[in-house]
Amino acid sequence: MTATAVVTGLGVAAPNGLGIEDYWRATLDGESGIRRITRFDPAGYPCRFAGEITGFDPAAHIPGRLMPQTDHMTRLALAATGWALGDAGADPAAMDEFGMSVVTANAYGGFEFGHRELEKLWSRGGKHVSAYQSFAWFYAVNTGQISIRHGMRGPSGVLVSEQAGGLDATGQARRHIRKGMPLVVTGGVDGALSPWGWVAYLSGGQLSSGDDPARAYLPFDTAAAGWVPGEGGAILIVEEAAAARARGAAQVYGEVAGYSSGIDPAPDTGRPPALPRVIRQALDDAGLRAADIGVVFADAVGLPALDRAEAEAITEVFGAGAVPVTAPKTMVGRLASGGSALDIATACLALRDQVIPPTVHVTDPAGPAADLDLVRAARQAPLDSALVLARGTGGFTSALVVRRAA
Amino acid sequence: MTDKATAGRLRPASGRRVVITGIGVLAPGGVGTKAFWDTLTSGRTATRTITFFDASPFRSRIAGEVDFDPAAEGLGQQQIRRLDRAAQFAVVATREAVADSGLENVDPYRTGVTVGSAVGATMSLDREYAVVSDGGQSWLVDHNYGSRHLYDWFVPSSFAAEVAREVGAEGPAVVVSAGCTSGLDSVGHAAELIRDGSVDVMITGATDAPISPITVACFDAIKATSPRNDDPEHASRPFDRTRNGFVLGEGCAMFVLEELSHARARGAHVYAEIAGFASRCNAYHMTGLRPDGREMAEAIRAAMDEARMAGEAIDYINAHGSGTKQNDRHETAAVKRVLGDHAYRTPMSSIKSVIGHSLGAVGSIEIAASALAMEHGVVPPTANLHEPDPECDLDYVPLVAREHRTDAVLTVGSGFGGFQSAMVLARPERRPA
Amino acid sequence: MARITIDDLKEMLVKAGGEGADVPSLDGDAVDKAFADLGYDSLALLEVVGKLELTYDITLEEEATQPGGTPRELLDLVNGMLNAAA
């Protein structure tokens, strides 16, 4: 008998809401968190919008001791973890320390922290670099800090696959559950909204420019012209179903029922993209047919060629217009591994409330996207299972199925 | 044999077994697996005064550098421009590993990639930052001077994408970045993907090229690296009473991992089976270790359980042996906790004494050393070990390589963030089926 | 001649170790309490040591800054070095 991995707690830090209820209300209302950057002056850069989290007071959530040694995104991750554990009604101090794991995804590390230290190094010399630089910027920092703060000593890890990371971490969390781990903290929080991070984002040549935040990120639209970065993400508490029941978990949002990942072939090979295959594998893994899926959370990158490929993949597997498709990330931007983790959290909330959150700002679906049933206003629907898709730069392609608890 | 209940809980139902059939290494001392093994067993060390930049302002000015000419190793000019040094390492080592394994006709959907890296494209990012900020002069750095390849350095998953393209893999691909245990965790993750049936073949390993001013500065700030600048060749001194910190290194090891029957069907040479792997977190401190070694001991115990092997079966221990006082004591305690008296009878050496500490890469390089120890029946020595720390009383194989039949190896790692990992390698025929 | 005062040291400690409801006060008899009891771990002390070394152009041995030491001991150590150098 294979153990069942269920999601029992969610912690969300998103540009349009902190905490699940704020985020979920804003998301159903179509409130966008994409705005002109305030963290630094973006006037000199060709792209000036981001999904920036404002109104987060780290001192209210993070022990004072941790403030000097943490990047902004780690503070968000620590806050989100606290919320997720609270949501799950889980008290780590009362649980077996080796029975709790932390597996997070990360894409950029603590880039803003690193930016400050690089500035000291190059302008004033190596002796000015902080002792905390040795870990505050690296990709493993969130897993390390979460495990320390909550005394979690089980098998832990950190995965990097750009936007796909949140799904890959959750897939890995399920492996740990299947090997006997009662509880895994997973998901991801990312963000690099410092000028140095911004220049790195810009270098990919994929960001949207323009002067209207409501027209900046338009996946599947004829006017799609790039994406908008955002910061934040979600932390999920994943537990073995019987263990969650035994401790009286506050709720079960759903089961991590299916997962698969792959990577695209090199463009010059002429081989097909990974997405349709990965979707089918995730459905097989869940033991579901396409018709069982109530909603697809799209990767929705906002670049015409990739949008077309995704629309074609969805239609190839599900049939034209046969499944509702949505991209609530149109309200927050692309959050790297935080984005795919946030989409899992959003899918959990959609299953809980039997409502599909909207895709905002998109008005004119392009080409094959016109065949999609793109949900543009919150829609009540009977939802048994949700499919979450994510693709990361370099061809990383992952799919994850969340099934409503029976 | 462990009891059935334990075996059932810890072992996947599939019974699929995972073996190493190809090895590629770049390490200080030389490019290629042969040069690597020759360096380890020669009694030389490969640590020296840093040549990559003027390190004179820094406290520690020593590193294990790889003499590496990417063009001579077959990389194209565009690849050299596009790839960070760590990614270049990964491509070159991947080619060696695949050639070594004799693997042809890769089945794209049944082949995956994991690459471990603690610090990603640090060298490129450090260099690039200096350009866009004009030497740190401007917080609002200038995008007009940014390389168009910067995004790939920003997100190190580009390393796994590059390796996947190199071999034509289209299965699961990911970078594993758990600090200094990344090299063990990457291979452990890859083995798990084969065991659970996701794939039959994994190209796996780890790479890091951290020798740049920001890395040297941050380890200076915590006084973790050795300041023995007047004697760089003898600066990495794990388990020695006079050790005073680790020596930074760089390098890469990549492997071809296969499901055992897949390897046998094509008549591949098998170096070793990945018999067991486990990791734990100490949940104690981002950089500190508790002297009792409890969580590392737990990781070792869990890896042995997964391998269904008792402590007495271990013939050689490849130590983390970073050359810091706290690590040496922590690790020695952990090994004794699990192996008991057998710990005293088992040679345990640290190759970081020879090549330095290449952060996330070194765990994979140590897996390579472990597999080669089994292959050659020779245990590499701990260089520079003249006066053992009285609190470190195991057999650390001082100074000289030793002929020693090795059927099973335990290799361990420990890193910032509190990560503790352990892997057991064994001859497949010596393990319970 | 440069000297370090307790207020200078406190400022560095707060910068390196943070402040807030969870952090013990550095006032009163705290100067004679062990760093460990004040919530400073080895890493926070290294951050302080880096700042002291930079500000006063001295080099502190690892043993001088263990969590078992007290702020006053560190203060005396630094001022002793500054006196010796003067």
pLDDT digits over A330-352, tens only? 999 999 999 999 999 999 999 99
Asked if A165 and A388 count as a contact pair (C-beta separation under 8 A), the reply is no
What tokens does B252 get?
Answer: 């890469």
CA diameter of chain C: 40
Q: Are both A123 and A145 inside the same structural domain?
A: yes
pLDDT value of position C26: 86
CB B192 within 8 A of CB B341: no
* Residue range A133-190, pLDDT digits in tens: 999 999 999 999 999 999 999 999 999 999 999 999 999 999 999 999 999 999 999 9
Burial of B81 (0-12, 13-18, 19+ CB in 10 A): exposed
The per-residue pLDDT for range A47-101, each reduced to its tens digit, is 999 999 999 999 999 999 999 999 999 999 999 999 999 999 999 999 999 999 9
Q: Is C76 on the interface with B (CB under 8 A)?
A: no
C24 inside 8 A of chain A by CB: no
Task: Give the end of a domain, one of A246, A272, A292.
Answer: A246
Closest-CA distance, A149 to chain C, in angstroms, reads: 13
Which alpha helices (H) appear in A204-303, and where do they start and end?
Answer: 241-246, 275-286
Residue A194 vs residues A110, A212, A389: alpha-carbon distances, Å: 10, 21, 28
| Contact check, Cβ <8 Å, C43/B223 | no
Separation of alpha carbons B254 and B251, rounded Å: 10
pLDDT band at C1 (very low <50, low <70, confident <90, very high): low
Please indicate if any CB of chain B lies within 8 Å of the CB of A359. Answer: no
Helix count (H) and strand count (E) of chain C? 3, 0
A253 within a domain of the structure (yes/no): no
The answer to whether residues A236 and A203 belong to one domain is: yes
Please state, in angstroms and rounded to a whole number, the distance separating the CA atoms of residues B388 and B239. 6
Residues in contact with A61: Cβ distance below 8 Å, sequence separation at least 6, in sequence order:
A75, A78, A79, A82
**Residue bearing the bigger pLDDT, A203 or A406:** A203
Is residue A251 situated within a structural domain? no
Shortest CA distance to B375 belongs to which of B86, B36, B70? B36
Instruction: Give the model's pLDDT for residue B6.
Output: 34
- What is the predicted pLDDT for the residue at C52? 92
Mean per-residue pLDDT, A28-36: 98
Per residue in A389-404, pLDDT (tens digit) is 999 999 999 999 999 9
- B21/B19 Cα distance (integer angstroms): 6
- How far away is chain B from the Cα of A107, in angstroms, using its nearest Cα? 6
Judge whether A274 lies within some domain: yes
Q: Which residues span the domain enclosing C43?
A: 6-17+30-85
Q: Which domain CATH number covers C57? A: 1.10.1200.10
Query: Which of A178, A213, A246 is the C-terminal boundary of a domain?
Result: A246
Q: Whole-angstrom Cα distance, residue B245 to residue B263?
A: 41
Task: Check whether B327 has a pLDDT greater than 50.
Answer: yes
| Binding partners of A (≥3 Cβ pairs within 8 A) | B, C
Q: Check CB contact under 8 Å for B141 and A153.
A: no
Cβ pair C46:B223 closer than 8 A: yes
Average model confidence (pLDDT) across chain A:
97
Q: Does C25 touch chain A (CB under 8 A)?
A: no
* Residue C42 forms contact with B (CB below 8 Å): yes
Strand intervals (E) in A264-384: 295-297, 324-326, 355-356, 373-374, 379-380
In this prediction, residue C19 carries a pLDDT of 86
pLDDT (0 to 100) of residue A316: 98
How confident is the model at residue B203, as a pLDDT? 98
Residue A295 is predicted with a pLDDT of 98
CA angle C14, C16, C22 (to 5 degrees): 55
Q: Which chain A residues have a beta carbon less than 8 Å from that of C38? A: none
Same domain, A132 and A29: yes
Q: Please report which confidence band the pLDDT of residue B290 belongs to, taking 50, 70 and 90 as the band edges.
A: confident
Domains of chain B: 4-121+156-427 (3.40.47.10)
Whether C23 maps to a domain, the answer reads: no
Q: Which residues of A touch C53 (CB under 8 A)?
A: 127
User: A395 and A347: one domain?
Assistant: yes
Q: Is residue C62 part of a domain?
A: yes
Nearest to A262 among B162, B172, B176 (CB): B172
Encode pLDDT of C4-29 as tens digits: 999 999 999 999 999 887 888 888 88
Query: Which range marks the domain in which residue A54 is found?
Result: 5-246
Give how far the C-alpha of residue A62 lies from the chain's centroid of Cα atoms, to the nearest Å: 22
Residues 6+ apart with CB under 8 A from A11: A19, A20, A79, A80, A81, A82, A83, A84, A85, A86, A87, A187, A234, A235, A236
pLDDT digits (tens, 9 = 90+) for B233-280: 999 999 999 999 999 999 999 999 999 999 999 999 999 999 999 999
Out of B252, B330, B357, B392, the active site residue is B357
Query: Touching check for A170 and chain B: CB below 8 Å?
Result: no
pLDDT value at residue A93? 97
Question: Is the pLDDT reported for residue C84 higher than 70?
Answer: yes
Question: Residues A174, A309: one domain?
Answer: no
Cβ atoms of A71 and A113 closer than 8 Å: yes
For residues B30 and B251, give the distance between their C-alpha atoms in angstroms, rounded to a whole number.
10
Taking the C-alpha atoms of residue A316 and residue A66, their distance in angstroms, rounded to an integer, is: 49
pLDDT at A302: 98
**A148 in a structural domain:** yes
Q: With contacts defined as CB-CB under 8 Å, which chain C residues touch A127?
A: 50, 53-54
> pLDDT value at position B12?
45
The backbone torsions φ and ψ at residue C3, rounded to the nearest 5 degrees and listed phi first, read -135, 150
Give B326→chain C minimum CA distance, Å.
12
On whether the CB atoms of residues B128 and B150 are closer than 8 A, the answer is: yes
**CATH number (domain holding residue A346):** 3.40.47.10
Give the residue on A whose Cα is nearest the Cα of B170.
Answer: A263
Considering only the beta carbons, identify the residue of A129, A195, A204 that sits closest to B141. Answer: A195
The pLDDT assigned to B13 comes to: 47
- A396-406 burial code (b ≥16 CB/10 A, e <16): bbbbbbbbbbe
Regarding whether A333 and A227 lie in a shared domain, the answer is: no
Across the interface, do C20 and A64 touch by the CB < 8 Å criterion? yes
Report the domain count for chain A. Answer: 2
Would you call A159 an interface residue with chain B, using a CB distance cutoff of 8 Å? Answer: yes
Buried b (16+ CB within 10 A) or exposed e, B344-363: eebbbbbbbbbbbbbbbbbb
| B14 confidence band (pLDDT: 50, 70, 90) | low
The answer to the question of residue C22 being in a domain is: no
Question: Confidence band (pLDDT; 50, 70, 90) for A3?
Answer: very high
CA pair distance C79, B338, nearest whole angstrom = 47
Average pLDDT, chain B: 95
Torsional class of A100: left (φ above 0), alpha (ψ -120 to 50), beta (otherwise): beta
Same domain assignment for residues A204 and A282:
no
From the list C19, C20, C46, which residue is nearest A131 (CB)? Answer: C46
Band (B9; pLDDT cuts 50, 70, 90): very low
Total number of domains in chain C? 1
**Distance between CA atoms of residues B195 and A184, nearest Å:** 21
Q: Is residue C71 part of a domain?
A: yes
Tokens in use for B375? 């292959």
Contacts of B107 in chain A (CB under 8 A): none
Residue that finishes a domain, picked among A205, A223, A246: A246
- Which DSSP letter does residue B311 get? G
Chain C residues touching B288 at Cβ < 8 A: 41-43
Residue with tokens 């401007």: B138
DSSP B15: -
Among residues B189, B234, B320, B330, which one is catalytic?
Answer: B320
What percent of chain A clears pLDDT 70, i.e. is strictly above it?
100
Q: Is B320 a catalytic residue?
A: yes
Is residue A192 less than 8 Å (CB to CB) from chain B? yes
> Contact C46/A128, CB-based, under 8 Å?
no
Alpha carbon A193 to chain centroid distance?
A: 16
Complex-level ipTM: 0.97
Whole-angstrom Cα Rg for chain A: 20
Q: How many CA atoms lie within 13 A of B55 on its CB side?
A: 21
Q: How much is the average pLDDT of B341-357?
A: 98
Nearest to B183 by CA among B432, B412, B416: B412
- Does residue C42 lie within any of the structural domains? yes
Q: Is A126 on the interface with C (CB under 8 A)?
A: no
Contact residues for A25 (Cβ-Cβ < 8 A; gap 6+): A17
A132/C contact by beta carbon, under 8 A: yes
Q: Averaged over B73-98, what is the pLDDT?
A: 98
A228/A266 same-domain check:
no
Altogether, the residues listed in chain C come to a count of: 86
pLDDT at residue B433, as a whole number: 59
